[in-house]
Chain A
Amino acid sequence: SQQGEEDPQALSIQEGENATMNCSYKTSINNLQWYRQNSGRGLVHLILIRSNEREKHSGRLRVTLDTSKKSSSLLITASRAADTASYFCATARDQGAQKLVFGQGTRLTINP
Chain B
Amino acid sequence: GAVVSQHPSWVICKSGTSVKIECRSLDFQATTMFWYRQFPKQSLMLMATSNEGSKATYEQGVEKDKFLINHASLTLSTLTVTSAHPEDSSFYICSARDPSGGGYNEQFFGPGTRLTVL
Contacts and interface: CB of A to CB of B under 8 A. Distances in A.
A100 B43 contact: no
Interface string A82-103: 0000001000100111111111
A31 B49 CA distance: 19
Contact of B43 (A30, A88, A97): A88
Pick from A30, A99, A103, A107 the residue with the most CB of B within 10 Å.
Answer: A99
Given A48-B106, A95-B104, A96-B103, A103 B43 contact: yes
A92 B101 CA distance: 14
Interface residues of B, number: 27
A24 to B, nearest CB: 14
Nearest to B51: A98
Which secondary structure dominates where chain B touches chain A? strand
A100 B104 contact: no
Interface string B74-118: 000000000000000001010101000001111111111010000
A43 B93 contact: yes
Contacts of B32: 98
Given A44-B109, A102-B45, 18 more contacts: A2-B43, A30-B105, A31-B105, A33-B105, A42-B109, A42-B112, A43-B109, A48-B104, A92-B105, A95-B104, A95-B105, A97-B105, A98-B34, A98-B97, A99-B49, A100-B34, A102-B43, A104-B42
Given A43-B93, A103-B43, A98 B49 contact: yes
Contact of B111 (A42, A88, A98, A104): A42
B3 to A, nearest CB: 11
A62 interface: no
A95 B43 contact: no
Contact of A42 (B1, B45, B46, B93): B93
B105 A40 contact: no
Interface in A32-75: 33, 35, 40-45, 48, 50
Given A92-B105, A98-B49, A100-B105, A105 B43 contact: yes
A43 B95 CA distance: 9
A33 B43 CA distance: 14
Nearest to A96: B103
